Amino acid sequence: MQDLQGKVAVITGGGSGLGRELALCCAARGMKLVLGDVDERGMQETLRLVEDAAPGTESATMRLDVSKLEQVQALADLCKSRFGGAHLLFNNAGVSVGGAAWENTPDDWEWVMGVNVYGVIWGVKVFTPMMIEQGEGHIVNTASAAGWLNGPNMAVYNVSKHSVVALSETLALDLRDVGANVGVTCLCPAFFPTGISESERNRPADKADTVALSEVAIKRSEMTKAAVAKGKIQASDVAEMTVKAVEANQFYVFPHRKIKQLIALRAQAADNEQTVFDSLNPQ
Ligand SMILES: NC(=O)c1ccc[n+]([C@@H]2O[C@H](COP(=O)([O-])OP(=O)(O)OC[C@H]3O[C@@H](n4cnc5c(N)ncnc54)[C@H](O)[C@@H]3O)[C@@H](O)[C@H]2O)c1
């Protein structure tokens, strides 16, 4: 979608990190904003920053849990009633949990898969028909480098992000099959500084039973947290690259160049068939 001016951007997870920066990028292009997040205060802070940077930006917010289909439907209804539709959807809300694959609890799996996978599924399910009907639209799914490369201590997150890559690729092919004028972008960043390491702040009370981390898992989790904090690319850079990709109708976005090299090495490891690929110690 080349010209974003005056169009409507919907951003889940718009109350923090990447979602906030996407809101700023979209507002800078004259878009109207609809933010959805469990964190109402975070969304209000985003709108305050938007008002500073792009005064007069039209906006709406909805407190919602993306893992619930009916709440995502309500977000789409808000877009329709307030702005007549939605042109650009960022399925961006996400959470993370550590732990060894066999130790994660049912609540760990259900919470993370609910937000990271079902959140994207429901966004696609609810907004794609609206975009097809209006004859134009674009959907950006925030996957991750973890949608391609599997580090230890991240089974739940890795599984969820591989699902987002699978859904995004299939969605793009299905839209092509029916000749719809709806673009898809699959965003696959490695670490960058945001609130993702403090995901537990958003964990619902009915999914509170989490894994007791082993010593190894604590070490691994600390390494991941440090990698996020020290990420060299900022959320604002990732957001700008992503919105530019929408304008260019580009499908894959890998903000961190090294990830593509590692994916190629993973393909080699698969070709050799001998041993699991270790992205932290690639051979
Ligand atoms: N930061 C990184 O290193 C990194 C790397 C790759 C991918 N990502 C992905 O980027 C996306 C954005 O995360 P971030 O890094 O900005 O983290 P963040 O924690 O700063 O932002 C995530 C946002 O999602 C919201 N959220 C959480 N659960 C929700 C729910 N059930 N319903 C609605 N909103 C909910 C949070 O309130 C928060 O505003 C996520 O999908 C994440 O997996 C992040």
What is the distance in A from the centroid of ligand 1 to the CA of 140? 14
- Residue labelled with tokens 């966004």: 123
Number of domains composing the chain: 1
At residue 119, the pLDDT reads: 99
Listing DSSP states for 184-218 in one string gives EEEE-----SSSGGGGGGG--GGG-------HHHH
250 assigned to some structural domain: yes
- Residue labelled with tokens 């859904």: 167
What value does the mean pLDDT take over residues 132-147? 98
63 assigned to some structural domain: yes
Pairing of strands 252-253, 182-187: parallel
At residue 261, the pLDDT reads: 97
Token pair belonging to 45:
């802070």
In ligand 1, the atom with minimum distance to the C-alpha of 143 is: 7
**Structural domain span for residue 222:** 8-257
At residue 179, the pLDDT reads: 98
Pairing of strands 88-91, 8-12: parallel
Check whether 7 has a pLDDT greater than 80. yes
Percent residues over pLDDT 70 in the chain: 100
155 assigned to some structural domain: yes
195 assigned to some structural domain: yes
Task: Express each pLDDT in 178-222 by its tens digit.
Answer: 999 999 999 999 999 999 999 999 999 999 999 999 999 999 999
Percent residues over pLDDT 90 in the chain: 100
Task: Express each pLDDT in 25-45 by its tens digit.
Answer: 999 999 999 999 999 999 999
What is the distance in A from the centroid of ligand 1 to the CA of 283? 31
Q: Are 32 and 89 in contact (CB under 8 A)?
A: no
Q: Are 47 and 21 in contact (CB under 8 A)?
A: no
Confidence tier at 70 by pLDDT (50, 70, 90): very high
CB-based pocket (< 6 A), ligand 1: 12-13, 15-19, 37-39, 42, 64-67, 92-95, 115, 142, 144, 189, 191-192, 194-196, 199, 202, 228, 231
The CA distance from 106 to 206, in Å, is 11
283 assigned to some structural domain: no
What value does the mean pLDDT take over residues 149-178? 98
264 assigned to some structural domain: no
Q: Which residue among 118, 196, 241 has the greatest number of ligand 1 atoms within 8 angstroms of its CB, and so is best to mutate? A: 196
88 assigned to some structural domain: yes
Residue owning the nearest CA to atom 40 of ligand 1: 94
275 assigned to some structural domain: no
Catalytic positions? 157
Q: Which residue among 70, 202, 236, 252 has the greatest number of ligand 1 atoms within 8 angstroms of its CB, and so is best to mutate? A: 202
What is the distance in A from the centroid of ligand 1 to the CA of 198? 10
- Residue 203 sits in a domain whose CATH number is 3.40.50.720
In 3D, which of 193, 198, 195 has the Cα closest to residue 236?
193
At residue 41, the pLDDT reads: 98
What is the distance in A from the centroid of ligand 1 to the CA of 110? 16
Adjacent-strand bridge partners of 1: none
Task: Express each pLDDT in 249-271 by its tens digit.
Answer: 999 999 999 999 999 999 999 99
Mean pLDDT of the chain: 97
At residue 283, the pLDDT reads: 77
